[in-house]
Amino acid sequence: MLEQPQVPTPGARLSREEVESLLFHPDAEITASLARAARQIRDRIYGRGVFIRGLIEFTSFCKNNCLYCGLRRSNALAERYRLSPEEILECCEDGYRVGMRTFVLQGGEDAYFTRKRMTDLLQEIKARYPDCAITLSIGERSSEEYQAFFDAGAERYLLRHETATNAHYRFLHPPEMHLSNRMRCLKELRRIGYQVGCGMMVGSPGQMPEMLARDVEFLRAFMPEMVGLGPFIPHRQTPFAQEKAGSVETTLRLLSLVRLMLPSVLLPATTALSTLDGEGRIRGLDAGANVVMLNLSPQSVRKKYSLYDGKADCPDDARTIWREFSATLEQNGYRAVVSRGDPAGKEEIE
Ligand code: 5AD
Ligand code: SF4
């Protein structure tokens, strides 16, 4: 008989075995106890205000070939698009008008967006919206490029590490991709001064419980400002088409555990979670998340940015999305905040 694990106190240092047991113990009550403890610390640090990010998926071209992702270069059926600077700026304008103060520029690894094209774009966004933060999520680049993007106004960077286990990284990626390079990028981003986000999928093919525990250990050591976590969801045009999706329950437990380990982390309730569970965003917040990304991409391209199957098709404009989501938040005891949403601690210093 497995002994029921204890819910950790905030900031506690857990062994891998303890993490594994908290994530996978069959007692469903653990999910609720973890969530309760995580909410409590989240409420103490951030209150019930939820930071809203405007997500702009600006290119679906990618030179990489990650086995799990629908945008991988070998997927000849993927529909590719790039937004023009004007289109991207229109997305920002739509988001700004409704109250968004962070724009997340996300895309595949697309060489068309050279250093010059990116820095011109960043400078223009920053000039128009000096009170907003820009987050980049465009994968592995050289240190010089990371520095140039930072100098041009990007302050945050999301780069999931995907898995902290070498062999598992190799299983999920083609031979030319290396965990060591991913880690080098994360360290460079940190050194330059970005707020850095890393993270992983829950239930990705080949993931063993101890690997997820190792990911948690890595997060604890790296102490990122942001953590992106969502369930793996198969995409029909990838080698992992027949694999099964990650567990919502484990994702929720992991969100709570990350909140408890890194109390002031910025933690989104991700789109992947809401794809598997209609209530996923609220369940994520109730598990300790405090950030939500709402899609600002033009309607015409939203379906084409297809990392996994079944991504909620959202036909609404920014105003409707914000209004409806604000109402959902309020029904659940939260509120959308109009703010850049920096990590707690930093705002106090400013
Ligand atoms: N299921 C869930 N998440 C995925 N990602 C990519 N493909 C999938 C998938 N099939 C995540 C990866 C990547 C981020 C942009 O999206 O973790 O870092
Ligand atoms: Fe490209 Fe990112 Fe998809 Fe990998 S996960 S194929 S880098 S878009």
| pLDDT digit string, tens, across residues 311-350 | 866 778 888 999 999 999 999 999 999 999 999 975 443 3
Say if ligand 1 is within 6 A of residue 69 CB.
yes
- Consecutive H or E run containing 274: helix 271-276
Distance CA 214, CA 262 (A): 15
Handedness of CA 149, 307, 238, 204 (dihedral sign): positive
Q: What is the pTM of this model?
A: 0.96
pLDDT band at 2 (very low <50, low <70, confident <90, very high): low
User: What is the per-residue pLDDT across 7-39, written as a single tens digit (0 to 9) for each?
Assistant: 999 988 899 999 999 999 999 999 999 999 999
Q: If DSSP codes are grouped into helix, strand and coil, which group holds residue 279?
A: coil
C-alpha of residue 6 to centroid of ligand 1, in Å: 31
Say if ligand 1 is within 6 A of residue 235 CB.
yes
Say if ligand 1 is within 6 A of residue 161 CB.
no
Number of residues that make up the chain: 350
- Which residue's C-alpha comes closest to atom 2 of ligand 1? 232
